[in-house]
Amino acid sequence: MTTLPLFCFPYGGAGASGYRAWGRGLPAWVEIRPVQFPGREERFREAPHTHLEPLIAELAGLDFGSPPFAFFGHSLGALVAFELARELRRRGRPTPALLVASAYPAPQRPRARPHITHLPHDEFVAMLRQHFDVTEGLLSDPVLAELALPVLRADLGIVESYAYRDEPPFDFPLAAFGGIGDPEAGAEDVAAWQAQSTQPVRVRLFPGGHFFVSTERPAVLAELAAALRAAVPGA
């Protein structure tokens, strides 16, 4: 069985390191390739993007190798993976054999979350607590907040400025994962990913709210492996 590269895109405010341990929970034929955005971890000296277009232009310059390969994105990472796959298609380049969108509403659906990136610090933090599923430790720890909140603000700017444009659905399979009770992506939002593929979309909901990928990791990785196996039987 050949190796299948799985490019993983991080959620808002986070870096790629969270995916590096996933290989231990996936079959040996899945090769985790975390994608690092500017402004975090080893790229912390770079300014984070506040709009999607320049980030997609940067990522489209990456070498994804020969197909097959797959994309996984959680929250903001799901939006990035989706629009990157669209950009690869526009350029006539190979597209993923499977795209897994996790904890993000189907992009054609209007988002109910308020716009908060223009707010001063205290109001910004208060709105994060009220309307978003954000780890309290990040908000209450001054050191963590100083490091992470500017990146999170920039990442939310990407989401707030995003404008969905109609394009044909993909002709490769998608999977859509959601968290039960997630305030940012409800069950209907997750199921609506079906409109983005001509093939049946594999929809799965897990306990654990927005960060079910952490609290329910073994179940998530088992479902991810099953989706990859179904999309690329010979991998």
Would you name the residues annotated as active-site residues? 75
Q: How far apart are CA 46 and CA 138, in angstroms?
A: 21
Is residue 126 within 8 Å of 103, Cβ to Cβ? no
Q: How many residues does the chain have?
A: 235
Integer CA distances (angstroms), 197 to 7, 60, 78, 97, 212, in order: 19, 21, 15, 12, 24
Q: How far apart are CA 37 and CA 22, in angstroms?
A: 18
Q: What angle do CA 223, 38, 186 make, to 5 degrees?
A: 40
Which residue type, as a one-letter code, is found at position 67? P
Task: Give the distance from CA 82 to its chain's centroid.
Answer: 9
Residue 138: its H or E element: helix 136-140
Question: Residue 19, class by beta-carbon neighbours within 10 Å (0-12 exposed, 13-18 middle, 19+ buried)?
Answer: buried
Query: Do the bridges between strand 202-206 and strand 174-179 make them parallel or antiparallel, or are there none, so unpaired?
Result: parallel
Token reading at 34: 């975390």
